[in-house]
Chain A
Amino acid sequence: MFTLFGGRTVGKGTYWNLNSGERIDVDGTVTLKGSRADRYVKIPVAGLCIAGPLAGLLFTVVIPFLFLFVMLALLPRTVHASGASLGDEAQVCLGCHATPGMTMTFTDKSTVSVHVDGSHFKNSVHRDLSCTNCHSDVSLDNHPAAKYASKQQFLLHLASACRTCHADEQVLANPLHQRAITRANAPPCSECHGSHAIRKVPTKQAKQNTTQYCLTCHKQQLSTTINGHTLSLTIDEGRLRGSVHKDHTCTDCHITFSRDEHPDRRFSSVREVSIAGSEACRRCHIDKADQHKGSIHFSLLAQGDQRAPVCSDCHGSHAVGKKGLADTLAGVPCKNCHQEIFSLYEGSVHGKARKDGKGTAPLCSNCHFAHDVKPTMASRSPKDMCLGCHAGIASAHKAWLPNTEAHFDAVACTACHVPEGIQRSVYLRVTDDSTGLMASDTVVRNLLRTGRTAINAVQGKHIDADEVWSLYKQLNSEHAVHMSGTVGLTSRRQAHQLAPKTVAVRTCEWCHSANAAFFQSVSMATAKPDGRESHIEVDKSAIGSLYAMIPLNQFYVLGGTRIAAMDYLGAAMILGGIAVPFAHGTLRLLTARYRRERKQQAARRGGTGR
């Protein structure tokens, strides 16, 4: 294309005759001499000075070297591919063992594939060995039937063959081997390295990132046993790659591990491994970890209840899902432990709304928080949570409910907004005036057992009316406290059965009657150290007792909490009021004759009767 031929008319430039090497400088236009057999090229002198040596170098040095390199690289493959390098013995063995599906059955009926893919073996680092180098008990003359008890025994026997060449020093140099070999149930070499397709490990590992390195073993079926319980060490690579942490390497979380370090850690239970593992999450998710420290889950853990969930229980360990997953009915992790409550929730107005696709309907964490999981109370509903979504609900209640705020203070939202059959209770609670905290369960129970005054309620018995008074006095003697009453659900689980508002209680009599069902169940609510509520049964007559006059001065349900003594006093007063006219009137009737006679006598005397 850059080559010109004789007879062509060309413009200004420097032309070279490739046949003779003659240089032709053209100023105007000129016709090149000769025919199509004479080839010319147009190159400036400076261009020739650079291109010339380069072309020369290419031809004389680089191309031959490249050729040599490719040849050297391809040569072994070419040679092996020919099959010529496999020993005669291997050729003979493969004559049978190349058949796919060949198996050997052991005494215990376990089987192993004895099919060998010739091409795998040809590419393995052991390609120069003959079969009997490893399978030393087998030869062309001696090919025994299965003499091993099990597949495991067979593989372990073969592993000892590896040790023939790979000395202990070489093997134990790898910390992974140190750990594996010292175990009683150490896996045979082939479990990690394969059998006939063994590649040169360092070359392979050098190309791997850390995760791949770890997965070399951990994608195998690995497990360990802690105190008789099995802990799987197998990582599902697919799920790991699908997790939100896919771009992290194993050692980002497992910080004490590396290619060179594989510490031998000791745990007393499988559960401890998960608990310790969750510490890794804290390194990045500090805020969430701090929130978790304020949760009921953490409190339980701190109290030694290892069932309490840690990060991995909700989020998974290696298959950590996207944040939004926990906000779905299918993915919410709470149900893993709280299945019964979740079923109740699913039947609730909120659960049904979720099922119907209303994404704004609350799930567990909307009321209970996600990490700072708060304990629920049977005596109260999380009113602020309810009002957080149902913002206009206070004024909606005001339209029909007198003293709405007083009701909101004393009645849990759940007490009215669950189906009718669910049992409600009255809860008495003592609150410290200065701290605003509920009385401690330990303190109250101690006072009930060992108080100075006549508190004789013990566990399993209820608190009598006079004991409510004594308890109040004693608590009040240390700090200023006040006692209040609330109406809530008997079981906090049932708070999850929130019903549509058409079902909600709207009849005043439902509560405002001494016959109201919840007055039959009275408890004192106290606070456990972890923030949960404890309930101690109170004699139901305490509500209407004179003893409750002072302690329960703030708990008042029209028609429901009347003091029984006032009924007797009232009856006496009204009967007295009726008795006065009756007694006085009767006396007047009985004395009427006397007055009549006196009047007649006076008339006879001619007086006026005065």
Chain B
Amino acid sequence: MKRIYLHAMPVRIWHWINAVSFFALIVTGAQIRYRDALSLMTFRTAVDVHNWFGFLLLGNFALWAVYYLLSGKLKVYLPDPNLKNFVLGAWKQAKYYGYGIFVGDPNPHHASPDSKFNPMQQVAYFNIMLLFMPLQIVTGILMWDIKRFAPVISFAGGIKTVDTVHVFLTLFFTAFLFVHVYLASLGHPWTQHLKAMFTGYEDEPESAH
């Protein structure tokens, strides 16, 4: 049994604030958009809560960015610059999820503090953290005060474009969340990754893969 310190304290705090914010933002966002179908809270409450968690998410993102940039750990998000290595690595990982996992092949990737993500995770989280999250936050801020940011909104193609981008990203995040939670349950035992996100340590049974 190996014990790896996989998630540093700031990362764990960031992750769970993110989790709560995502949940709150998705629920309140749905309430704002589907007032005709949902009645969980008043429109005004939904807007206010959405704004609070939006800014919490913004601050949390800043925390993540500062931590990863200053600690130099941002490289865990960066896919292998060698395209051949990256494609081979990604193919191996895809083959594992699509076939090997069913027949009992071992996971080609072993998480370590320096290499937390497999090549597929790297592509996904690289896009999520460096493209989708900033875009989601910026479009959210623009819609928070449409009059103040009117020139920017106009430059971006109008409020409807900004809204559509914001909603599209929400849909992506929501869909991804199901996959994310499912993949988190693929440890041995199934709580392995979940525990690690609380304690920081991942127990890796020598024989379990």
Most central of B32, B36, B207 by chain A CB within 10 Å: B36
A585 adjacent to chain B (CB < 8 Å): yes
Total inter-chain residue pairs, C-beta < 8 Å? 115
Q: Report A597-608 CB contacts with B as 1/0, cut-off 8 Å.
A: 011000000001
- Name the CB-closest residue of A to B181: A581
With A577-B177, A588-B102 as known contacts, state yes or no: A509 contacts B43, CB within 8 Å: yes
Q: B207 contacts A609, CB within 8 Å?
A: yes
**CB contact between A559 and one of B35, B159, B182 (< 8 Å): that residue:** B35
A1 adjacent to chain B (CB < 8 Å): no
Q: B43 contacts A559, CB within 8 Å?
A: yes
Q: Which residues of A contact B43 (CB under 8 A)?
A: 508-509, 512-513, 558-559
- Name the CB-closest residue of B to A559: B35
A508 vs B160: C-alpha distance when bound (angstroms): 20
**CB contact between B178 and one of A513, A558, A580 (< 8 Å): that residue:** A580
With A554-B159, A563-B164 as known contacts, state yes or no: A515 contacts B147, CB within 8 Å: no
Q: Which residues of B contact A69 (CB under 8 A)?
A: none
Q: Report A405-434 CB contacts with B as 1/0, cut-off 8 Å.
A: 110010000000000000000000000000
Q: A598 contacts B160, CB within 8 Å?
A: no
A609 vs B176: C-alpha distance when bound (angstroms): 32
Q: B172 contacts A573, CB within 8 Å?
A: yes
A348 vs B91: C-alpha distance when bound (angstroms): 74
Q: B174 contacts A588, CB within 8 Å?
A: no
Q: Which residues of A contact B146 (CB under 8 A)?
A: 403, 406, 556
**CB contact between A554 and one of B32, B44, B158 (< 8 Å): that residue:** B158
B34 adjacent to chain A (CB < 8 Å): yes
B72 adjacent to chain A (CB < 8 Å): no
Q: A566 contacts B164, CB within 8 Å?
A: yes
Most central of A512, A548, A555, A569 by chain B CB within 10 Å: A512
**CB contact between A595 and one of B104, B158, B181 (< 8 Å): that residue:** B104
Q: Which residues of A contact B32 (CB under 8 A)?
A: 512, 558-559
Q: B171 contacts A559, CB within 8 Å?
A: no
B106 adjacent to chain A (CB < 8 Å): yes
A238 vs B145: C-alpha distance when bound (angstroms): 65
**CB contact between B103 and one of A570, A580, A595 (< 8 Å): that residue:** A595
- Name the CB-closest residue of B to A589: B102
Q: B35 contacts A566, CB within 8 Å?
A: no
Chain A count of residues within 8 A CB distance of the other chain: 46
**CB contact between B102 and one of A509, A514, A554, A595 (< 8 Å): that residue:** A595
Distance from B151 Cβ to chain A, minimum over Cβ atoms (Å): 13
Q: Which A residues between 543 and 586 are near B, CB-CB below 8 angstroms?
A: 548-550, 552-556, 558-559, 561-563, 566, 569-570, 573-574, 576-578, 580-581, 584-585
With A559-B32, A580-B182 as known contacts, state yes or no: A599 contacts B167, CB within 8 Å: no
Q: A556 contacts B160, CB within 8 Å?
A: yes
Q: Which residues of A contact B176 (CB under 8 A)?
A: 577
Q: Which residues of B contact A284 (CB under 8 A)?
A: none
B199 adjacent to chain A (CB < 8 Å): no
Distance from A114 Cβ to chain B, minimum over Cβ atoms (Å): 87
A561 vs B42: C-alpha distance when bound (angstroms): 18
Distance from B121 Cβ to chain A, minimum over Cβ atoms (Å): 15
Q: Which residues of A contact B175 (CB under 8 A)?
A: 573-574, 576-578
Q: A402 contacts B101, CB within 8 Å?
A: no
**CB contact between B171 and one of A402, A574, A581, A598 (< 8 Å): that residue:** A574
A74 adjacent to chain B (CB < 8 Å): no
Distance from B49 Cβ to chain A, minimum over Cβ atoms (Å): 13
Q: B35 contacts A513, CB within 8 Å?
A: yes
- Name the CB-closest residue of A to B167: A566
Q: A577 contacts B103, CB within 8 Å?
A: no
Q: Which residues of A contact B33 (CB under 8 A)?
A: 558-559, 562
Q: Which residues of A contact B158 (CB under 8 A)?
A: 550, 553-554
With A549-B164, A595-B104 as known contacts, state yes or no: A581 contacts B182, CB within 8 Å: yes
A608 vs B206: C-alpha distance when bound (angstroms): 9
A142 adjacent to chain B (CB < 8 Å): no
Q: Which B residues between 79 and 104 are near A, CB-CB below 8 angstroms?
A: 97, 101-104
B127 adjacent to chain A (CB < 8 Å): no
A330 adjacent to chain B (CB < 8 Å): no
A610 adjacent to chain B (CB < 8 Å): yes
Q: Which residues of B contact A609 (CB under 8 A)?
A: 104, 207
With A573-B172, A580-B179, A581-B179 as known contacts, state yes or no: A406 contacts B102, CB within 8 Å: no
A49 adjacent to chain B (CB < 8 Å): no
B163 adjacent to chain A (CB < 8 Å): yes
A595 vs B163: C-alpha distance when bound (angstroms): 47
A585 vs B167: C-alpha distance when bound (angstroms): 28
- Name the CB-closest residue of B to A511: B43
A287 vs B53: C-alpha distance when bound (angstroms): 60
B161 adjacent to chain A (CB < 8 Å): yes
Distance from B160 Cβ to chain A, minimum over Cβ atoms (Å): 5
A343 vs B37: C-alpha distance when bound (angstroms): 40
A148 adjacent to chain B (CB < 8 Å): no
Distance from B201 Cβ to chain A, minimum over Cβ atoms (Å): 23
Q: Which residues of B contact A561 (CB under 8 A)?
A: 160
Q: B36 contacts A515, CB within 8 Å?
A: yes
B168 adjacent to chain A (CB < 8 Å): yes
A79 adjacent to chain B (CB < 8 Å): no
A535 vs B167: C-alpha distance when bound (angstroms): 33
Distance from A468 Cβ to chain B, minimum over Cβ atoms (Å): 13
Q: Report A500-524 CB contacts with B as 1/0, cut-off 8 Å.
A: 0000000011001111000000000
B47 adjacent to chain A (CB < 8 Å): yes
**CB contact between B147 and one of A406, A559, A584, A585 (< 8 Å): that residue:** A406
Distance from A529 Cβ to chain B, minimum over Cβ atoms (Å): 30
A514 vs B33: C-alpha distance when bound (angstroms): 9
A206 vs B158: C-alpha distance when bound (angstroms): 80
Distance from B186 Cβ to chain A, minimum over Cβ atoms (Å): 9
Q: A569 contacts B171, CB within 8 Å?
A: yes
Q: A556-B159, A558-B47, A566-B164 are in contact. List 16 more A-B contacts (CB 8 A).
A: A406-B146, A514-B36, A549-B161, A553-B158, A554-B159, A559-B32, A559-B34, A559-B36, A561-B160, A569-B171, A573-B172, A574-B174, A577-B174, A581-B182, A588-B101, A595-B102
* Cβ-closest 9 pairs across A and B: A553-B158, A577-B175, A581-B182, A595-B104, A513-B35, A508-B43, A591-B102, A577-B178, A556-B159
A residues neighboring B (CB under 8 Å): 402-403, 405-406, 409, 508-509, 512-515, 548-550, 552-556, 558-559, 561-563, 566, 569-570, 573-574, 576-578, 580-581, 584-585, 587-588, 591, 594-595, 598-599, 608-610
Q: Please list 30 pairs of residues, one from A and one from B, whose beta carbons are closer than 8 Å in the complex, sorted by A's number.
A: A402-B47, A403-B145, A403-B146, A406-B146, A409-B147, A508-B43, A509-B35, A513-B35, A549-B160, A549-B164, A553-B158, A553-B159, A553-B161, A558-B32, A559-B34, A559-B35, A559-B36, A562-B167, A563-B160, A563-B164, A566-B171, A569-B168, A574-B178, A577-B177, A578-B175, A581-B179, A591-B102, A594-B102, A595-B104, A598-B103
